[in-house]
């Protein structure tokens, strides 16, 4: 039962990735657009491309902690994400607005504007962390 509860909470948090704005973190580091291959922006672009292509399972792999999930948990989260995205017409387009990296280089926030198939446009700021496997979306 505990595992199901953790799974359900995680599922709702992951769905928040597309539907809840995190707001500005108040960091004073300059916001810039980044073209680096292994940057927070490049990682978020990979996630958004997976979401646009409806490969929700692949998109989940860029979130901290999912490497510890069972295949069943990942599949369940992917199905939940699919239901949420389909209810909004899927991810039609996105635009990276900027990137802010912390002074220690271990955390970042990436501002993004997403357009959904139902016409809704939403701006969001995704929190990213640098792991030994590269940049990932922070676990909420």
Second-level CATH architecture of 2-137: Roll (3.10)
Tens digits of residue pLDDT in 13-63: 344 444 433 333 333 333 333 335 689 999 999 999 999 999 999 999 999
The two structure tokens encoding residue 103: 């002074």
Domain boundaries, the chain: 2-137
Nearest to 97 by CA among 72, 62, 122: 122
Nearest to 94 by CA among 75, 79, 114: 114
Q: Exposure of 49 by Cβ count < 10 A (0-12 exposed, 13-18 middle, 19+ buried)?
A: middle
Q: Which pLDDT value is given to residue 14?
A: 42
- Under the banding of pLDDT at 50, 70 and 90, the label for residue 131 is very high
Q: Which pLDDT value is given to residue 129?
A: 97
């Amino acid at each position: 039962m505990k595992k199901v509860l953790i799974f359900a909470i995680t599922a709702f948090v992951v769905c928040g990735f597309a539907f809840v704005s995190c707001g500005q973190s108040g960091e004073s580091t300059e916001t810039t657009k980044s073209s680096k291959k292994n940057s927070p922006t490049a990682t978020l672009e990979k996630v958004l491309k997976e979401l646009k292509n409806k490969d929700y399972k692949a998109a989940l792999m860029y979130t901290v902690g999912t490497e510890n999930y069972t295949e069943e948990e990942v599949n369940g989260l992917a199905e939940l994400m699919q239901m949420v995205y389909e209810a909004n017409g899927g991810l039609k387009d996105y635009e990276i607005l900027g990137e802010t990296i912390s002074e220690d280089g271990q955390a970042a926030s990436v501002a993004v504007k997403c357009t959904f198939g139902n016409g809704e446009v939403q701006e969001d700021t995704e929190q990213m962390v640098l792991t030994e496997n590269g940049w990932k979306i922070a676990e909420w």
